[in-house]
Structure 1
Amino acid sequence: MPLPINAAASSTAAAISRRVLAATSISYTIVLLDASIVNVALEQIGRTLHSNVTGLQWVVNAYTLSFASLLLTGGTLGDRLGARNVYVAGLVLFALASALCGMAPDLATLTIARALQGMGSAMLVPCSLALINRAFPDSAQRASAVGVWMGCGGIAMASGPLVGGILIHWFGWRSIFTVNVPIALAGIWLTRSIGRNDDGVAARRHFDLAGQAAAIVALGTLIAVLIEGSRLGWRSTPIAMGMMICASAWVAFLSIEKRRAHPMLPLSFFRSPLFSASTAVSMASAFVFYGLLFTFSIAYQQQHGFSALETGLAFLPMTAMVAIGGLASHRIVERCGPRASMCAAFGLYAAGSLGMLAATPHAPYWIAIAPMLAIGLASGFVSPAATSPAMGTVEKQRGAVAAAVLNSARQTGAALGVAIFGGFIAAVKPFELAMQVALGSAAAVALAAALIWWIAASAFSVAGVRHKPTSSSQLQSAKRSEVR
């Protein structure tokens, strides 16, 4: 007996929604997988392509830098050209760039291909959320779908080092890039039935070309100075010129964004101390985690003599706790409050970093397990815990832009962590001393982030008391949003 028309339409819509979720989850998986998987391949890449630590920093940061600087523009492209169109274009670009990474004959080609991967990722992430938003109009279903989407990304980031170690052990370092190609093709195939016509609600958003150009120059020169400073000399002419260009670009960027009617980065968001603090702690968390991930990768493979597979297994306690921390974040915040739990998370970062000082090349591996558990738990907790309060400070219609700002902050923090910690390894000798400097710096940044969050959360609570709500509904809303 044929289904009624309404039932058949509902069944078709549900099938398309599931296909959208599967496609976007696949894309987010490879985006975050590539952010962590490359770390266990650094030793083999360096040996094959004859690269030093500076070159390896560029391999890691070319991806995160282009991802961070183009993320906001990727969302605008989706609004103007259609989320599905930009999403598919991003997947195609990511697949082609991954194939180029796998075939790269030299370090320069690999670095350029990594930057192209980052461009593809910057198109994928905001358009993935737009497609999910369209496919799941019901708020409860949409929240569940976003949870699945973020969960897949968290698992990918956590499993990256282990998956990379296994692939490298059996197929070599190039396989960690070429494996993306069939996955991206599967994502493209899954999008074939998604409608091409977007709602067009935000289609009138303008490109902030001047702001985008200034942001690319500002971030690019900042990372370049930090990576190349130890090699060329901090007083050398290229580094001095780079510093001047970087400072000028940042001033120009802020000036442009302040005057634009449709800025790429709405500076009005930062009038809220809580949004500013959320951005700062998101950046600090990525700075510490990815900086330490890069440093530990070099240490385990070059100092401890671990293979890529052994390095992936060594990272398993830390990366597993990233997934657990993300899943438990909401419950911990509900039980302990955002202020205390966030400060405790950064305390774990600091304790884990200082605890790793005992994990010398001659020490047994088990000494590093407890510190790595602490670092992984903190990393998994901070991202969702910082996002929710920040999103509560902006209007609903500007939520996508606010989310893009937070993601850009995380990617920028990751790039800075790799650049600065890699600079310690390149400039400070012996390696054990460089590790001590990096770990001490990570602990200091974590404690500073905890202080920033405590002050901002306290200020937000005081502001809530000063502006006491008059109605019962306002009172209930204030109680739910109050930062304890």
Structure 2
Amino acid sequence: MAILTRPARTDRTRTPDGPATDPSGGPSTARSTSPTTVLAAALLAFFVISLDGSVVNVALPAISHSLGGTMADLQWIVDGYTLMFAAFMLSAGTFSDRIGASRAYAWGLASFTVASLACGIAPNLGTLIGARMVQGGAAALMVPASLALIRQTYTDPGKRARAIAIWTAAGSVAVAVGPVIGGMLTSGLSWRAVFYLNLPVGALGLALLTRITPSPRRSAPVDLVGQLSVVASLAGLTYAVIEGGRAGWTSVDVLGTLALAAVAIAVFVVTQSRREQPMVPLSIFKNRTVLVCLAAGFTINAVFYGAIFLLGMYFQQVRGASPVSTGAMFIPMCALISIVNMAGVKLAARKGAWVPMTIGQLVMTAGSLLMLTVTSSTSYWIPVLLLVPIGLGGGFAVPSLTAAILENVDGERAGTAAAVLNTFRQVGSCIAVAAFGALIADTGHFQRGFDTSFVACVVMLLVTAVGTAVLLPRVTKKGGE
């Protein structure tokens, strides 16, 4: 689902209804950039980034048939992308600030396009997983850059909010239609076409970029130790969860990587507490609303992406459906997501973010609970229909969740808080695929793993839904730690 992350800051000042101005008082050169062009470029990048988070799921059995590999290998194809996306999310905004949003967008999109080509021509699983990791790192750079371009161009708060809502909805639609597109391309052409699809999109995005005024740069410190510790902790945790299902939870490799992850997290906390300008100021975690939103974001993504992964494997491995048929199974889920995105935003404006967030999570809970009735002999339409509340509930909650966290931190912390939120969300996706894949790895006990996964979804959603309803403020207030 759609994400929102750290925007680049600029030294320009803004008038409520007019274009940006330089500190000297003169009009900014950004006036020459068409807002429509900027929004189109931002939407294009965000759409393809979000698409690649889900489009591969339906192609996994075909990739396995072509290149070989175990369930753990297939999990890495999905999680390699998500892992690097999450790991570099925190520092991507800072890097975008340093080189300028338009340059960061160009570098990210060019790298993403080249990595997509490498995925498409990959001769083996190792090359494919490596290229997917590069894709994830490039995606992490593009997201804050694309959002920063919107913020720099749309100076009126109302118009900016609508542009960001459209940007968010585009990502939600991409995530939802990903399995459909993946199934059509895999069945009609090849699993490699799933990655070739990004090539013309990348070329178009770079062409649009030539019509956008270069963004300003600003001095921003890079926290190398903090970034490396984030990568080490997430990689260690993901490896342990994936390999635990294959090698056993008490194996030396699994215990060793869990220890590595724990040490890396400790290093991150210590370095952030001592730096004058930390990558993530630990004080933001003192804000109750921030903590609730982080927990809810983690859970919503875990359930949404976990369900797509589980049902993609269920339809093809248990029911023997083709990739195109499997992709079609996700159409009802994706049909209304963009609509409920906007509906959630409107309800939050009237009642507060806690209302759509709570409703959305409870709807997802109902869908996950009913998934426990699905077996190998259940009518195809039952799991198809049960995916709808999981998709709609998430789509209803996410925009309000993002708004809540941004409205409850000081202005200079908004970008950092959004980056942390989306890191938590991507980690949720990554851990869900790792854990659920480990549970269904033994094809002889697929049903048990399937049911256990959705029980976990129900428990997580109930905890975060109750936390949202009880702990979030009824009227959002800006400021405070």
TM-score, L = length of structure 1: 0.89
- Cα separation, 1, equivalents of 2:361 and 2:169: 22
Structure 1 pair 12–83 and aligned structure 2 pair: CA distance change class (3 A): closer
Aligned to 1:333: 348
Aligned to 2:69: 51
Aligned to 1:266: 281
SS at 1:439 equivalent: helix
Structure 2: 5+ residue stretches without partners:
1-26
CA contact (8 A) 2:170 2:338 kept: no
Aligned to 1:6: none
CA displacement at 1:383 relative to structure 2: 1.2
Tell me whether 371-380 or 395-404 shows the greater mean CA deviation: 395-404
Counterpart pick for 2:46 among 28, 44, 68: 28
Aligned to 2:11: none
Larger Rg: 1 or 2? 1
Aligned to 1:455: 470
CA contact (8 A) 2:173 2:338 kept: yes
CA displacement at 1:337 relative to structure 2: 4.4
- Say yes or no: does 1:106 pair with 2:121: no
Structure 1: 5+ residue stretches without partners:
1-8, 462-477
State, as a whole percentage, how many aligned pairs show the same letter. 35
Counterpart pick for 1:229 among 244, 266, 270: 244
CA displacement at 1:270 relative to structure 2: 1.2
Counterpart pick for 2:400 among 385, 396, 406: 385
Counterpart pick for 1:16 among 34, 39, 44: 34
- Equivalent positions of 1:55-454 (< 5 A) are 55-198=73-216, 200=217, 203-334=218-349, 337-426=352-441, 429-454=444-469
Structure 1 pair 366–100 and aligned structure 2 pair: CA distance change class (3 A): same
Query: Which letter does structure 2 place at the counterpart of 1:46?
Result: S
CA displacement at 1:36 relative to structure 2: 0.9
TM-score, L = length of structure 2: 0.90
CA displacement at 1:12 relative to structure 2: 9.7
Structure 1 pair 28–246 and aligned structure 2 pair: CA distance change class (3 A): same
CA displacement at 1:24 relative to structure 2: 1.3
Structure 1 pair 139–331 and aligned structure 2 pair: CA distance change class (3 A): closer
SS at 1:193 equivalent: coil
CA contact (8 A) 1:324 1:377 kept: no
* 1:117-138 per-position Cα deviation (integer Å, ceiling 9, x unaligned): 0011011000111111222222
- Cα separation, 2, equivalents of 1:172 and 1:308: 10
CA contact (8 A) 1:73 1:212 kept: yes
Tell me whether 130-139 or 425-434 shows the greater mean CA deviation: 425-434
CA displacement at 1:15 relative to structure 2: 5.5
CA contact (8 A) 2:57 2:312 kept: yes
- Cα separation, 2, equivalents of 1:75 and 1:102: 29
CA displacement at 1:349 relative to structure 2: 1.7
* 1:382-405 per-position Cα deviation (integer Å, ceiling 9, x unaligned): 211211111111122322222111
* 1:240-291 per-position Cα deviation (integer Å, ceiling 9, x unaligned): 2111111111111111111111111221111110111001100110011111
CA displacement at 1:26 relative to structure 2: 0.7
CA displacement at 1:418 relative to structure 2: 0.5
- Cα separation, 2, equivalents of 1:148 and 1:375: 21
- Cα separation, 2, equivalents of 1:372 and 1:293: 8
CA contact (8 A) 1:325 1:376 kept: no
* 1:316-353 per-position Cα deviation (integer Å, ceiling 9, x unaligned): 12222433331221233345543344233222222111
SS at 2:265 equivalent: helix
CA displacement at 1:111 relative to structure 2: 0.4
CA contact (8 A) 2:352 2:476 kept: no
SS at 2:210 equivalent: helix
The count of aligned residue pairs is 453
Query: Which letter does structure 2 place at the counterpart of 1:404?
Result: A
